[in-house]
Structure formats: structure tokens, C-alpha cells
Structure 1
Amino acid sequence: MADLWEELQSVANSMPSSNTAAPGARGTIKAIASFNVSEDVAALRKAIEGIGTTEKTLIEILTHRSSSQKQAISKAYQETTKRILVNDLKSDTQGNFERVLVALTRPPAVNDAKWLIKAMKGAGTDDSILIEILSSRTNKQIKELSAAYSEETKKTLIQNLKSEVSGHFGKAILLLAEGARDESTNVNADQAKVDAKALYQAGEKRLGTDESKFIEILCKRSIPHLRQTILEYKNISGKTLQKSIEKEMSGNLEELLVAIVKCVMSTPAYFAEKLYKSMKGAGTDEITLTRVMVSRGEIDMLDIRAEFKKLYQSSLHKEINSDVSGNYSDCLKMICGGED
């Protein structure tokens, strides 16, 4: 896998970034042109209220409408039935199938907020979920999920994170949670060289590591600037930045900084790797599988599929098909959108 990221490193400067594509242009879940809210509400009611649930209808509608169309459906559903669509789905379906349908129905920001709430619930924090969400979302997405988080918990995301995370990892997570990454698109090659050198001197070049320098650069600079910095770093140190981080850091800080570097080089490849790991080996991590499929369905699933095929010589569709079954599998394959 490290070789994959080494390879990506060499094409990083020519990689299109999903962050720069028009929103939704690379997704598999798109707005339907002939959208008719009342027809959809009637079809969903029939599927849910009839004897036995018509799962096919639920899958068909919820994987073929954009998020804003689904919000319109949920609103109309509530006006017509005086019930909440998400609650009806919960009482009518179960397990992983229920989870994926509910997530498809909710706005993306609400999903992100709920996943973060769950990650911080109870004893201990699930750092890997904080890392995945906060390292891969744009400023706009972070602002939206923060608003949804406050709405759900009556506290701010930053307030709650402060009591959950600490040390260098905590500092980096809090910076990302502010959603204040530089968003300029012009790259100053000289500044990228300066940053690459600063990273080299904060890590490889000295005894002990100056973590705060890594955090400041990786959590604040723009994505195009970081892409250039990663290339410059290789020129200066002969190693990839990812390799250096893995050598210099450990634990959740290492995991977070590596995730940022991977997302800078290719967010779709980062998620392709996540999906592969969720299905690899004994047992499937359905929670991660569902979260990634739903959260990327409308954003960059086409690119994730392409990266998956390139990395694992097998299509994402085929892996899902052989790894999970039933309605849950059918729903994920719809989100996947096709065989490569």
C-alpha cells in the first residue's frame, strides 16, 4: 500500500482534485430530472405502509435522488402523514439496511454530525472517525456539520472536542474543526519550498520532532499549496512526506497527519483504501463501509471507483457483491452505481 502512495506522489501535481470538481459532478447519486415530490411520497408510503415493506422501492428512490430532493421528500412526507420519514424507515427496516437508508435520507451535514457525536459518546473516543471526517471535508462542509452538530447537541463541536482530545493530536483536530484552511488556488512555488524545508528541519533533520510545525503547515495551508509542498519535500529529503511522518510520529497524531497527506494527494484514493480495508479479511466493518459509501455517493464515488480498480485490480461493485448480501448489498451497489 505504501507503494501506491509513492506512485500517487509522482502524479500528485497532475491529479485533479475532487475538491476542485463542481459539487456533485463526480458523484453517482444525482438529482433526477423528472422529479415529482408527491409521486415519490406516495410510492414511499405504499412501500412502508403496505403489508410487508417493498425494499426495492425504498432503494430505488433513496439512491436516485439528490440530497436536496430527499429533503423535499422528507418535508412533504411529514406534511402528508404527520410522521417523520427517517423514523418510519427505522421502524420498518433493520440492521445495516436500516442504517444505510436512514443515512441516505438525512442531509450530509447531519450525518457527519451524528457520526461525530457517536465517535465521542461513552468512554473513550473513536479517533479514527474524527480523523476520517475532519481530514477529508472542505471548509464549507465543516461549517455545515458544525452547525448541525450544535443543533443536535446544543453545544459547539469545538467545545465537545476540547474535552475529548488532547496533546498535539488535539491541537491538530481542533484546527481542522475550525474549518479555516486556506482556500486560495494559486500556488507560490517558493513558499512551498520554504514549507517543505521547514517540515524537513522539524522532523528528519533533527533529533526529536517538532510536531507543532507539521500541524501548522498540514492543517492550515491550502490543498494545492500542500500538493506542491509534498513534491518539494521529496526533492529535499529523498523520502515521501508520508514516510517521514510514519517514521517520526506515532499513534493518533501519525494517523491524522498521514490521512491529511493522503487526502491532499487524492481524496478518492484515500476513500478507496478505506473501503477496501472495511471489506478485507475476516468479517466486514459495515459501519465504515456504510459511512463512506453514503458520504461520498454524491461527491466523488466515480473517482473512488476508478482508484479502487487501479489499486486492487478488482471493481468496488464486485467486492461489495462478494462481501455483503441482501437488501443492504443491493443498496450499496446502487450507490456504487455500476460495475467497472
Structure 2
Amino acid sequence: MANVWGDLDLLLDSPSSLTVTSTARGTIKEKAGFKAAEDVVALRKAIEGIGTTEKTLVEVLTGRSNAQRQLICKAYQEAANRTLVDDLKGDTHGDFEDLLVALVTPPALFDCHEVIRAIKGPGTTEETLTEIFASRSNKQIKALSDAYLAETGRSMTHDLKSEVSGDYATTLLILAEGKRDESTNVDPAKAKADAKALYEAGEKKWGTDESKFIDILCHRSVPQLRQMKCVKSVPAYLAERLFKSTKGVGTTESVLTRIMVGRSEMDMLDIRAEFKKLFGCSLYSTIKSETAGSYGQALLKLCGEDD
């Protein structure tokens, strides 16, 4: 628990994932000359033929942006009278199925399902909640919150309140409101005042005034927090998450899938660079040695190339 709080405390968010909405640092781009109808024909042939052609599923679904995949889903349903998600679930299984379903799910809905799973599983999975809420922009958190309400009929913060407690809960709930300052300007005087306030709330007192820490860490912009020297970047944090998910006892596929799909259009290039810097090997080679089959092939496509 302490290390989850530590991650939240240090991490919060990075300017790239907050303020950059372009796909400049992603590995997956929109496909030029995209025609949903052509992709639907290829997918149906791959699914309805004798034995699913997994290679086609990988090529089509990892070679399009999420927005394009949504258009494929719509065209697929019109052509086949069934949803692509249902057909993928019926025709593939295990981690590969989970990955394909993640690829064709709108990002906010995918986040929503991951939050529901983290809350409702046996014991709340704090690491998953930390990862999601600390690495999404205000806009993404708002979309996630809306999706959660539509999906469950309850407010997300209401459900979180019943599952997490203490300072961790306070921090998580502030992040879940999606009200972080997203400006990239830095006010050195304010940074100095904040650093002083944190010092006084912590070092100088018997007991620590956690509310002051939480207020400053959750509401300031990241460049502002960096000025105070208390934040690691999201790509570095996610690189660590990926490393731990491949190096533990058995690979944690759900973490691999969530990060590789979720960041493929955002900052995968930065994550790859941090991974190499931190662990001395490339993310690509790590995925290659730790995963297999069509699941591994799809992850490698999302990773892009070897560093």
C-alpha cells in the first residue's frame, strides 16, 4: 500500500500526456487511404473462414487508429448484423482475445471497464487505479467518468469512496475529479512557496499535515511540480509498470495489454526511450522474449520497433 501511495505522490502526471493531444509520440497512426468497408471484408474473411486467420486480425486492428477502429466496428455491424466485439470474443480466446477487444473499444469505455474490474475484483487493485487516474488528462478522466455513469448507473467517485480509504483515497478522488491545472507555464515564486508549505507541513511538525501535500500535489500543473522537484514522468512510470509486468513471476498480461493499447497513440515512443534508459534493454526485445503467438505479435506491432 505504501508504495502505491508513493507512486501517486511522485507521479501525478506529465505534460506530454496532459497537454499534447496530437499523436506525435505515438507508434500507431491513422492509416492513409483508410476504407472501413475493405477492412470489414478482410476481418469477416479472417473470422468466418475455416480457422481464424489471426495474422489478418493483428494486421488490420493494430494498423489503424482507435478512431478508425470505431468506424470499422460500425461498418462491421451493418454488414454482418453482429458486433465485431462479439465475433472476436467468439473466435479468439485468452490474452489475445482481451487485446483485440481492448483495441476495438473506445478508450474511455476501456478505461471504465478497467476501473470497474479494479474496484470489483477480490480486493481493490490500487496499482491499476493509480495508473489510470494519474496518467490521464482532465478530458480523458471526464470521458471515463461519463462512461462509468452510463455503464453502471452510478457515479464513479461514489464507488471509489466505498473502496479506498485514507490519504490514498483523498488523493485518488481529487484526481478522479479531473481538475488538475494543465497549463505549461511555471511560476518559480509559487513553486518556492509550495515547497516551503510542503516542508512546513512535513518536516517541521510532529505528524505530517497530509492535506497540504494532497492539495498541492493534486492541483498544480506538472511543470509547476517539476519546478519543486517532486514528480517523475508518466512515460518513466509506465515503463516501470511494463518492466514489472514482464519480470515478475509470470507475465501480468492485463497490465501489458492496458498500457500498450492505451498509450500506443499517445506517448509510446517516450515510454520506449524511458524503458531503454532505465533497464538497459529495449521494450521490443523484452516483449518478444516474454510473450508468444499472436498476442506477442500484436504487442510488438503496438510497440513499433526495436530501440
Normalised to the residue count of structure 1, the TM-score between the two structures is: 0.84
Task: Please report the RMSD computed on the Cα atoms of aligned residues, expressed in angstroms.
Answer: 1.5
Output the CA distance in 2 between the equivalents of 1:24 and 1:85: 25
Which gives a bigger RCO, structure 1 or 2 (Cα 8 Å, sep 6+)? 2
Residue in structure 2 matched with residue 77 of structure 1 by the alignment: 76
Residue of structure 1 in register with 2:186 after alignment: 187
Which residue of structure 2 lines up, in the alignment, with residue 207 of structure 1?
A: 206
What are the ranges of 5 or more consecutive residues in structure 1 without an aligned counterpart? Answer: 1-8, 10-14, 231-240, 242-260
Aligned position for 2:7: none
Residues of 1 paired with 2:165 and 2:249: CA distance?
33
Alignment correspondent of 2:277 = 310
Within 2, Cα distance between the matches of 1:173 and 1:218? Answer: 11
- What is the one-letter code of the residue matched to 1:283? G
**Pairwise CA distance, 1:202:** 1.4
Question: Which among 283, 290, 299 is matched to residue 323 of structure 1?
Answer: 290
DSSP 3-state at the match of 1:334: helix
Q: CA deviation at 1:74?
A: 0.3
Question: Where does residue 333 of structure 1 map in the other structure?
Answer: 300
In structure 2, what is the Cα distance between the partners aligned to 1:281 and 1:109?
A: 28
Cα distance in 1 for residues equivalent to 2:179 and 2:61: 33
Contact 1:183 1:222 in 2 (8 A): yes
Aligned to 1:19, the other structure's residue is in SS state: helix
- Deviation, 1:122, is 4.4
Query: In the aligned structure 2, how far is the partner of 1:209 from the partner of 1:24?
Result: 41
One-letter identity of the residue aligned with 1:142: I
1:17 Cα deviation after fit: 3.2
- Following superposition of structure 1 onto structure 2, how do residues 21-60 of structure 1 map, counting pairs within 5 Å? 21-60=20-59
Which amino acid in 1 is paired with 2:276?
A: K
The answer as to whether partners of 1:96 and 1:328 remain within 8 angstroms in 2 is yes
Aligned partner of 2:237 in structure 1 is 270
Report Cα offsets for 1:274-314 as digits up to 9, x if no partner: 10111114311111111111111111011111111111111
8 A contact 1:318–1:339 mirrored in 2: yes
What amino acid is aligned across from residue 78 of structure 2 in structure 1?
E
Q: Which residue of 2 aligns with 1:156?
A: 155
1:190: how far off? 0.3
Classify the secondary structure of the residue corresponding to 1:216.
Answer: helix
CA distance in 1, matches of 2:135, 2:288: 26
TM-score under structure 2 length normalisation: 0.93
Give the drift of 1:131: 0.7
CA distance in 1, matches of 2:282, 2:85: 31
Structure 2 residue 195 is the aligned partner of structure 1 residue 196: yes
Note the C-alpha offset of 1:16.
7.1
Aligned to 1:295: 262
State the alpha-carbon separation in 2 of the partners of residues 185 and 308 from structure 1: 25
Aligned pairs (5 A) from 1:200-239: 200-230=199-229
Partner of 1:257: none
1:18–1:26: 8 Å Cα contact kept in structure 2? no
Q: Would you say 1:131 and 2:130 are equivalent positions?
A: yes
Deviation at 1:174, TM superposition (A): 0.9
Runs of 4+ in 1 over 6 A off after TM superposition: none
* 8 Å contact from structure 1 (residues 28, 336) kept in 2: yes
Q: Structure 1 CA distance, aligned partners of 2:122 and 2:95?
A: 24
